[in-house]
Amino acid sequence: MHTRWEDLPVVVIGAGPVGLATAAHLHARGLPFTLLEAGDGPAAAVRQWGHVRLFSPWRYNVDPAARRLLAESGWVAPDPEALPTGGQLVADYLRPLADLPELKPHIRYDSEVVAVTRLGLDRVRTAGRESTPFLVRLAFGEDLLARAVVDASGTWRTPNVLGGSGIPAHGETDADPYVEHALPDVLGADRARFAGRRTLVVGAGHSAANTLLALTELAEQAAGTTVTWAIRAASPARAYGGGSADALPARGALGTRLREHVEAGRITLVTGFSVQRLTPQPDGVAVSDGTRTLVADRIVSATGFRPDHRIVGELRLDLDPIMGSTRALAPLIDPNQHSCGTVPPHGVDELTHPEPGYYAVGVKSYGRAPTFLLATGYEQARSVVAALAGDWTAARDVQLDLPETGVCNSDPVIGENTIADPGGCCATPPTAETAQA
């Protein structure tokens, strides 16, 4: 099982936008790599919200190294100012990128990672740690060795619970058959589950807004369809955002349209509502905050996502106790202080853990902060790969061109860290790097 260190690959977990960007940068640097994806193809999670249109245009959604690699193959870039759907992001960019001969032989699908550790060492052992290969275990039992691990697996598989205290509400497990997670295809594949029914949407971010707008459109088409929106905040002002002042017009328009529907009575807004109990009953499911009770046929839980660090439980991580990111990154992405567009440039130094050679990039790196942009993840990938190649000058020359706005952050009182845009202001769903996709 002995392999020379210089022959070991960098293992990248997750073939979503940031994982594939990491692969493109590794190829450009001439570093061997293996990209492991739990799904049956690239961007498995993005495909699950493929019906959603991003509010960030193409120019923010394509990694520079990936663009150069695609251009060499004759790829024609989409209109940089057009707004793609998640499906278009996959079809017009991520799948062509994954299929390039420079990347495709190094990507393994249906390869879920269940653990990452050091070969022969647990978290306690220190001697020789830096020179010991990583051991990456797959769900079907195979072990791989790696010189470094870049975790771009995202958060799509670990949504937040409905319970207002950060733990499941009473009865939440029993009510699971009534609950949809973020961004169901209300007007398409999932229409039958919502048409003519009472839907309660819980959450105050842009994922909730997208679903609410789709439901109001469905209500115009299907009699008996009603829409209720419950948030923990006393006011929806933050969810409405900055309107015409937003640097991304589509994002501003989202909040403006949502406000119009609420004011017109097409959406019933319930404020100050913290879910405490769910009770299935013959005519639906009752949702209570201890004082008030709402009854619905379907619940859309748009309460955000959280990182799952269990697969790296034997590595030495230094996580911020609030954000769940690295301690160095936490103050730069704190939604109490920053929106998507005001996050400062950051790279390998802010992403470094006490475990040498392990980095979480993409939306997973942000922990519970909802201020992630794809462009941020691409710069993370570039910086980390430069460091792995030993080019510390490039690794620390971090720069970002972001659409600044003061309205894309999550209200700390609300605490519902919904992804702001599955592909643009979080991707993925989400940056767009979610669920090893």
Can you give the pTM of this predicted structure?
0.89
Residue keyed to tokens 């392999």: 3
Percent of the chain with pLDDT over 90: 78
Which one, of 31, 309, 20, lies nearest residue 147 by Cα? 31
The neighbour count for residue 268, using CB atoms within 10 Å, is 14
Mean pLDDT of 62-81: 97
Q: pLDDT tens-digit profile of 386-424? A: 999 999 999 999 998 766 543 333 332 222 322 333 433
Lowest mean pLDDT among 137-146, 156-165, 188-197, 416-425: 416-425
Higher-pLDDT residue of 250 and 110 is: 110
Give the pLDDT confidence score for residue 429 in this predicted structure. 34
In order of 95, 249, 281, the CA distances from 244 in angstroms are: 34, 7, 43
Helix (H) or strand (E) holding 382: helix 374-388
Residue pointed to by tokens 């990128």: 97
Residue pair 103/22 in contact (Cβ under 8 Å)? The answer is no
According to DSSP, the residues that pair with 148 across neighbouring strands are 10
Average pLDDT over residues 98-102: 98
Distances (CA, A) of 362 to 23, 128, 347: 13, 29, 11
Q: Give residue-wise pLDDT tens across range 179-226.
A: 999 999 999 999 999 999 999 999 988 889 999 999 999 999 999 999
Q: Closest by alpha carbon to 175, among 285, 269, 16?
A: 285
Q: pLDDT value at position 237?
A: 85
List, for residues 280-298, the tens digit of each pLDDT value.
999 999 999 999 999 999 9
User: What does the pLDDT read at residue 343?
Assistant: 81
- Alpha carbon distances (Å) from 22 to 82, 149, 361: 24, 11, 9
Q: What is the pLDDT of residue 4?
A: 80
pLDDT (average), residues 266-272:
97
pLDDT(94) > 80 = yes
Domains of the chain: 5-158+305-395 (3.50.50.60), 176-301 (3.50.50.60)
Helices (H), 222-322: 237-240, 249-263
Distances (CA, A) of 418 to 210, 213, 217, 411: 11, 16, 22, 11
Residues in CB range of 252: below 8 A, 6 or more apart: 241, 242, 243, 244, 245, 246, 407
Res 106: pLDDT: 98
Distance CA 351, CA 345 (A): 12
pLDDT digits (tens, 9 = 90+) for 14-34: 999 999 999 999 999 999 999
pLDDT at 176 over 90: yes
Q: What is the pLDDT of residue 243?
A: 55
**Band (54; pLDDT cuts 50, 70, 90):** confident
| Cα–Cα dist 419/159, whole Å | 10
